[in-house]
Amino acid sequence: MATTTAGSSAQASSSSPVPTPILATGDWTKNLVHLAKTAELKKHALTLQLHTAHILSAHAALEQKNKAIQDLKEQKNKLESERSRLLNCLREVNEDRDKADLAEASLSKEVNDLQSKIRNITEGEYAVAKQDVDRLRQELGQPPLPSLQTTLEEKSAEYLKALRLQAEAANNATGTKRPGDELATDGQPVKRPRGRPKGSKNSKPKAKPGAAPAPAAPNQ
């Protein structure tokens, strides 16, 4: 039995094919180096594409920033022009204000001088002359002259009347005067009251005292 088993094993081993070894053909070392460099090239190419995308994005942002800076410069120039114009206007306003202050000071001085002159004349030469005239008129049996205040009020009334007449003439010439509008002595318009006057036809007649009331209508 053992002899039979050993013989069958030797027969099986002699009948199975023997594997042939793989032999490298060509320069396989060079191919491996080429494959490694190709992989490294792809890696660096991807890195380069990533950096290129970053650079393009930065360039786009840079263009936007430059455009924004240009817009700000234009706006700044406009604001500077407006500022110069406003400064010139302010300078002119200040000059006009200074002129107005000088004119006001000059007029105030003239007013003070005139008031002082009027007071000096009124209390001095005018008072003496007024006393002499009133004394002589009294001796001649004539009434005294009106006071200075009365004379000033009359002159003021005449001045206002002249203004009123001028205003009426101007309104009549231009046709802007409204009927019913009149000017008082102080130059202010006086408006007539509106509505129907008393005693018109629409007013009911008043019953006479002692008269009997009208009989009421009978109920039907």
Calculate what percentage of the chain has a pLDDT beyond 70: 67
What does the pLDDT average to over 135-155?
87
Residue 20 has pLDDT above 70, yes or no: no
The predicted model gives 132-139 an average pLDDT of 88
CA proximity to 178, closest of 168, 188, 186: 168
**C-alpha to C-alpha distances, 154 to 18, 126, 141, 149, 191, nearest whole angstrom:** 155, 18, 25, 9, 25
Q: How many CB atoms lie within 10 A of CB 182?
A: 13
Q: What is the pLDDT of residues 101-110, one digit of tens each?
A: 999 999 999 9
Q: In this model, does residue 11 exceed pLDDT 90?
A: no
Buried b (16+ CB within 10 A) or exposed e, 24-55: eeeeeeeeeeeeeeeeeeeeeeeeeeeeeeee
Q: Which amino acid is at 217?
A: A
Task: Write down the H helix ranges in 122-201.
Answer: 127-139, 148-174
- 44 vs 10: which has the higher pLDDT: 44
- pLDDT band for position 33 (cuts 50, 70, 90): confident
Whether the CB-CB separation of 150 and 126 falls below 8 Å is answered with no
Cβ(143)–Cβ(137) under 8 Å?
A: yes
In sequence order, the β-bridge partners of residue 183 are 189
- Give me the pLDDT at residue 97, please: 95
How is the chain split into domains, by residue range?
A: 146-187
Q: What is the pLDDT of residue 176?
A: 55
**Predicted model pTM:** 0.42
Lowest mean pLDDT among 65-74, 166-175, 186-195: 186-195
How does residue 18 score in pLDDT terms, banded at 50, 70 and 90?
Answer: low
Is residue 164 within 8 A of residue 183, CB to CB? The reply is: yes
H/E stretch holding 181 reads strand 181-183
CA gap 140, 119 in Å, rounded: 30
- Cβ–Cβ < 8 Å for 148, 122: yes
Judged by DSSP in three states, 107 sits in helix
pLDDT tens-digit readout, 62-121: 999 999 999 999 999 999 999 999 999 999 999 999 999 999 999 999 999 999 998 998
The pLDDT value recorded for residue 194 is 56
pLDDT of residue 220: 36
Q: What's the whole-number average pLDDT of the chain?
A: 78
Between 26 and 87, residue with greater pLDDT: 87
Residue 208 has pLDDT above 50, yes or no: no
Instruction: Please check the confidence at residue 51 and state whether its pLDDT lies above 50.
Output: yes
Lowest mean pLDDT among 8-22, 24-38, 97-111, 150-164: 8-22
